[in-house]
């Protein structure tokens, strides 16, 4: 960008002007682009004065060039890692990044250390001392540490994600953390690890466009957008920033039009499926049979402990509650579900065939660390689609057994609240939150009507 003042022409590299505001934009070297997830660095300089912009550009250039030196010296490093190293350096000096208050003496000691390095570099030459840039006598970590201490480093999207995962109630849930990181990474891939104060509505639309172009279904885009939205909202809330979230209420063209409607099992298909389960009579088929006549979610059943199957009470049932190896969807999902029909048969077979010391109902899919519901889903879907009724394959999944149970309960005119109690769906009315809920006997009677 160029500007003329009388006979003097000023050129500020890596800048351009839009709407009266000057922006810094510089291409990231090819060998470092994979570390950033972007091809360029773009920063709003928040000024229209080219002289002010020139000073800010000079500082930014020093920072990014120092960062590139470190990244090339450490192939395994990243911009985020540089910040971590700088934070550790400050910690060793008893300091914290701005805006955290610091002991004045500790700050002075740190700056004295930097000043000594400057003096050593100048070696008594006054001009060298006066004109020396930080990148000439400080290493990249020291430069970043000084910027953090002064509050000169702007928070990035990666910082927002880190904060979100620190404060979220499910921060120790590995599955939740992994999903959140993967969903949020799609934003970084689209717009880079951008400064949070740079985010705009344009970025939100750009993200949706990139997701659509990549072939993601509109339902998938919406789920990922919801993750992005709540991460940004958390940052604004925790940092007391009064600003509209640019990722709130983002429209998606033709949303829902590409959704594939789930088809429930017909009565004939369900009967044929249960017959096949009884004939095959193994752990996978026991799992399917319990799903069919309880309407429970796949992970809920696959993650049952043997002790969660109660057969010696007045009403045989399974107990579904949060476990270290398997979470549940919401508070309403914690429940007991009566066992009738094929579900009772399958639960009995699980208990009968359990080996000494066995803890889980389905050890093929559950360990102390996790429940592999995705693996179970793929196996069951493949098997169901191999079955034929009147020469036609059953094109269904395990999850459609849950939808089928909802229809079966409606068909026998089971009251809505009891349906919700059986399936663990979130109740709509406030009144449903009071009392102990429906007894196993009541739910058992309605499930018997279905079976």
Note the pLDDT tens digit of each residue in 212-236.
999 999 999 999 999 999 999 999 9
Determine the pLDDT at residue 431: 40
Instruction: Of 119-123, 280-284, 302-306, give the lowest mean pLDDT range.
Output: 119-123
Q: At what angle do helices 50-73 and 79-92 cross, to 10 degrees?
A: 90
Reading the block at residue 163, the tokens are 């904060």
DSSP 396: -
Determine the pLDDT at residue 435: 40
Helix, strand, coil shares, percent, the chain, to 5: 55, 10, 35
- Per-residue pLDDT band at 334 (split at 50, 70, 90): very high
Assigned CATH topology for domain 267-450: hpI Integrase; Chain A (1.10.443)
**Residue 36 and residue 80 in contact, taking contact as beta carbons nearer than 8 Å:** no
**Residue 180 and residue 224 in contact, taking contact as beta carbons nearer than 8 Å:** no
For the chain, count helices (H), then strands (E). Answer: 19, 10
CA separation for the pair 291, 398 (Å, rounded): 8
Backbone torsions φ then ψ of 353, nearest 5 degrees? -95, 0
- Per-residue pLDDT band at 79 (split at 50, 70, 90): low
Say which residues have a Cβ less than 8 Å from residue 344's Cβ, sequence separation at least 6: 293, 316
**Residue 67 and residue 82 in contact, taking contact as beta carbons nearer than 8 Å:** yes
Q: Which of 161, 201, 206 is nearest to 181 (CA)?
A: 161
The whole-model pTM stands at 0.58
CA separation for the pair 309, 299 (Å, rounded): 15
Determine the pLDDT at residue 4: 53
């Amino acid at each position: 960008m160029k500007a003329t003042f009388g006979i003097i022409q000023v050129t500020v590299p890596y800048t351009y002007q839009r709407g009266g505001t000057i922006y810094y934009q510089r291409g990231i070297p090819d060998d470092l682009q994979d570390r950033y997830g972007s091809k360029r660095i773009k920063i709003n300089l928040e000024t229209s004065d080219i002289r002010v912009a020139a000073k800010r550009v000079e500082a930014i250039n020093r920072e990014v060039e120092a960062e590139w030196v470190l990244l090339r010296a450490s192939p395994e490093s990243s911009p985020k890692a540089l910040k971590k190293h700088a934070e550790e350096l400050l910690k060793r000096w008893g300091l914290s990044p701005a805006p955290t208050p610091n002991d004045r003496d500790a700050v002075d000691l740190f700056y004295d250390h930097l000043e000594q390095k400057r003096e050593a570099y100048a070696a008594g030459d006054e001009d060298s001392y006066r004109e020396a840039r930080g990148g000439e006598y400080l290493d990249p970590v020291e430069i970043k540490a000084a910027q953090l201490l002064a509050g000169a480093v702007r928070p990035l999207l990666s910082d927002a994600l880190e904060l979100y995962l620190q404060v979220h109630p499910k921060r120790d849930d590995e599955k939740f953390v992994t999903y959140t990181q993967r969903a949020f990474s799609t934003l970084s891939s689209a717009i880079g690890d951008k400064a949070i104060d740079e985010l705009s509505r344009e970025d939100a639309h750009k993200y949706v466009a990139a997701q659509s172009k990549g072939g993601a279904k509109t339902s998938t885009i919406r789920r990922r957008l919801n993750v992005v939205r709540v991460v940004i909202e958390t940052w604004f809330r925790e940092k007391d920033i009064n600003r509209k979230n640019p990722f709130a209420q983002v429209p998606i063209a033709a949303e829902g039009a590409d959704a594939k409607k789930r088809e429930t099992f017909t009565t004939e298909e369900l009967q044929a499926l249960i017959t096949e389960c009884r004939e095959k009579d193994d752990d996978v088929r026991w799992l399917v049979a319990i799903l069919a006549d309880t309407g429970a979610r796949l992970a809920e059943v696959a993650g049952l402990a043997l002790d969660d199957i109660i057969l010696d009470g007045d009403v045989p049932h399974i107990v579904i509650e949060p476990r270290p190896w398997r979470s549940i969807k919401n508070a309403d999902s914690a429940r007991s579900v009566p066992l009738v029909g094929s579900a009772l048969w399958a639960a009995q077979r699980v208990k009968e065939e359990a080996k000494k010391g066995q803890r889980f109902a389905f050890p093929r899919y559950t360990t102390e660390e996790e429940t592999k519901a995705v693996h179970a889903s793929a196996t069951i879907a493949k098997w169901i689609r191999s079955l034929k009724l009147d020469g036609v394959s059953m094109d269904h999944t395990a999850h459609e057994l849950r939808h089928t149970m909802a229809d079966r309960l409606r068909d026998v005119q089971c009251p809505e609240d009891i349906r919700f109690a059986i399936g663990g769906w979130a109740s709509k009315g406030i009144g449903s939150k009071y009392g102990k809920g429906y007894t196993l006997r009541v739910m058992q009677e309605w499930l018997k009507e279905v079976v």
